[in-house]
Amino acid sequence: MLVSIGLNAQAIQSTEIAPVFISKDSLQLNGIITTLDQLDSITKKIVIFKRQQAFENEYNTGISNLADKKYATAIDAFKRAYKLNPQFYKLLYSKASAFYELKDYTNAVLDLDSFLLHEESNEQVALLYANLKYVLNNKTEAQAAYKKVLNFNANNAKANYYLGVFAFENGDYNESLNYFNNATISDPKFMVAFHDKASTKRKLGDLVGAVADYSKAIELDATFVSAFINRATVFFNLKQYDKSIDDYTQASSLEPDNYLIYNGRGSAKFDNGDYIGAIKDFDKTILIKSNYSFAYNNRAAAKYKLKDYKGAVDDCNLAIQLDKAYGYAFLNRGIAKQMIRDQSGACEDWRQARELGIKSAEIYINQDCE
Segment 10-44, tens digit of pLDDT: 333 333 333 333 334 444 444 444 555 665 666 66
pLDDT at 147 over 50: yes
Q: What local confidence, expressed as pLDDT, does residue 2 receive?
A: 28
Q: How many other C-beta atoms are found inside a 10 Å radius of the C-beta of residue 114?
A: 15
Query: In CATH, which superfamily holds the domain spanning 295-370?
Result: Tetratricopeptide repeat domain (1.25.40.10)
Q: What local confidence, expressed as pLDDT, does residue 181 receive?
A: 98
Is 71:52 a contact under the CB 8 Å cutoff?
Answer: no
Q: What local confidence, expressed as pLDDT, does residue 37 receive?
A: 60
User: Could you give the CA distance from residue 308 to residue 254 in angstroms, rounded to a whole number?
Assistant: 33
* Residue 47: pLDDT band with limits 50, 70, 90: low
Section 328-356 average pLDDT: 97
Task: Give percent of the chain with pLDDT exceeding 70.
Answer: 88
Of 353, 261, 346, the closest CA to residue 309 belongs to: 346
Q: What local confidence, expressed as pLDDT, does residue 29 receive?
A: 41
Q: What local confidence, expressed as pLDDT, does residue 32 receive?
A: 47
Section 107-132 average pLDDT: 94
Section 139-168 average pLDDT: 96
CA distances, 331 to each of 296, 356, 358 (Å): 14, 10, 8
Distance separating the N- and C-terminal Cα atoms of the chain: 91
The CA-based angle 82-88-92, given to 5 degrees, is 65
User: Could you give the CA distance from residue 27 to residue 29 in angstroms, rounded to a whole number?
Assistant: 6
**Residue ranges, CATH 1.25.40.10, the chain:** 295-370
Per-residue pLDDT tens digits for 278-311: 999 999 999 999 999 999 999 999 999 999 999 9
Of 95, 85, 93, the closest CA to residue 121 belongs to: 93
* Residue 333: pLDDT band with limits 50, 70, 90: very high
Burial classification of residue 161, based on how many CB atoms lie within 10 Å of its CB (0-12 exposed, 13-18 middle, 19 or more buried): buried
Q: What local confidence, expressed as pLDDT, does residue 339 receive?
A: 96
Section 94-121 average pLDDT: 94
User: Could you give the CA distance from residue 251 to residue 244 in angstroms, rounded to a whole number?
Assistant: 11
CA distances, 197 to each of 175, 222, 224, 256, 284 (Å): 11, 18, 15, 27, 32
* Residue 106: pLDDT band with limits 50, 70, 90: very high
Per-residue pLDDT tens digits for 55-74: 889 999 999 999 999 999 99
Per-residue pLDDT tens digits for 202-232: 999 999 999 999 999 999 999 999 999 999 9
